[in-house]
Amino acid sequence: MGAIDKLYSLKGKRIWVAGHRGMVGSALVRRLADVDCQILTAERAAVDLRRQAQVEDWLAEHRPDVVFVAAATVGGILANDTRPADFLYDNLAIEANIIHGAWRVGVEKLLFLGSSCIYPREAPQPIPEGALLTGALEPTNEWYAIAKIAGLKLCEAYRRQHGARFISAMPSNLYGPGDNYDLETSHVIPALIAKTHAAKIGNQRSVRVWGSGRPRREFLYVDDLSDALVWLIERYDDPEHVNIGTGKDITIHELAETVADVVGFRGRLQFDPSMPDGTFRKLLDVTRLDACGWRAKTPLRAGLALAYVDFLQRLEAGQLAEDARA
Ligand code: GFB
């Protein structure tokens, strides 16, 4: 990581959190509430981020100094695998419109958010930033991965050609408040929370866990991520993207046991080999970030307990379907 010569302070800046209703965007809004800045948001009904003219008009009117690109079409392994056109087209359009539009209106700093699935399926573990484009991608999410690779390359290209101070960060699998609990489209943690809770309430004997339970994943609590993003935008200004993770991973089997423990479910785990495992392992090498002094602080179990509280509150408020199938 390059030397941190001068802090780029967010104080007094007009900051656009693109995707502020999503899990990452809402965590960023929570984190930026501690900063003396002006947060800008664009409602979905007013601006479709896939439409270039709408994005450019909004940017010309609101003129942010800083942009966080937290808007994306996202989902778990099944959604990625079954909706390749949405994951590729939506994400290419969103990032191209925002990055190009931000450059046109002279945004001072922009942070683009990718994903650990940008790396080759057979990348060395833990995965260093330099593993990008050294091998074939994991087929279940190559569409999303290609869009995210294009996004980080756009930031690099605008920096190289125009001197734009655009940076990119690649987090590991995220979870936390504001997650999507829909079983068809969610990631593994919200799915297991919803299914395990339904099994507990329904006195069921088992919970169905997709795949073999053997794949390993690294999970980052979303408020740790937003803290890292604010930290990076104020300090980092190099072309290379930066991994953000905890440096630790666990198997899906261990994860399912931990979720069961947090939720208080005493039944069995039933693995379903007809569902895809996806990448065997994707543990990020976080040396670059670690060397600069930023570290994740929320242990997985504590984060899962907070996520379960969020799930219960939203269930209580009628914001979630109550019949998550176990
Ligand atoms: O979280 P997840 O959908 O995403 O799945 P990926 C992680 C692992 O958990 C896979 C298993 O091995 C799943 O088979 N799993 C077990 C489950 N039970 C369930 C369940 O009920 N629901 C889900 N969803 N998984 C995504 C990519 O990959 O990760 C995206 O598709 C993105 O592009 C994201 O990069 C972070 O880690 O496999």
301's tokens? 């179990």
Q: Based on C-alpha coordinates, what's the Rg of the chain? A: 19
Does ligand 1 come within 6 angstroms of the Cβ of 146? Answer: no
pLDDT in tens, 6-46: 799 999 999 999 999 999 999 999 999 999 999 999 999 99
Which of 140, 187, 219 should be mutated for ligand 1, with most atoms under 8 A from CB?
Answer: 187
Does ligand 1 come within 6 angstroms of the Cβ of 210? Answer: yes
> 77 alpha carbon to ligand 1 midpoint, in Å?
4
> 76 alpha carbon to ligand 1 midpoint, in Å?
5
Question: How do strand 66-69 and strand 109-113 relate by DSSP bridges?
Answer: parallel
Under 8 Å between Cβ of 156 and 272: no
- The ligand 1 atom nearest the CA atom of 173: 36
Q: Is the pLDDT of residue 3 over 50?
A: no
pLDDT in tens, 165-217: 999 999 999 999 999 999 999 999 999 999 999 999 999 999 999 999 999 99
């484009």: which residue's tokens? Answer: 133
Nearest CA to ligand 1 atom 36: 173
- What pLDDT does 292 receive? 81
CA atoms within 13 Å, Cβ hemisphere of 132 = 19
Which residue among the candidates 8, 89, 119, 144 is catalytic per the annotation?
A: 144
Q: Would residue 31 be called left, alpha or beta, if left means φ above 0 and alpha means ψ between -120 and 50 degrees? A: alpha
- Please state, in angstroms and rounded to a whole number, the distance separating the CA atoms of residues 227 and 294: 9
Q: Is the pLDDT of residue 324 over 60?
A: no
Does ligand 1 come within 6 angstroms of the Cβ of 76? Answer: yes
pTM value is 0.96
In the predicted model, what is the mean pLDDT of residues 312-319?
94
Nearest CA to ligand 1 atom 9: 188
- Please state, in angstroms and rounded to a whole number, the distance separating the CA atoms of residues 91 and 71: 8
175 is catalytic: no
> 158 alpha carbon to ligand 1 midpoint, in Å?
32
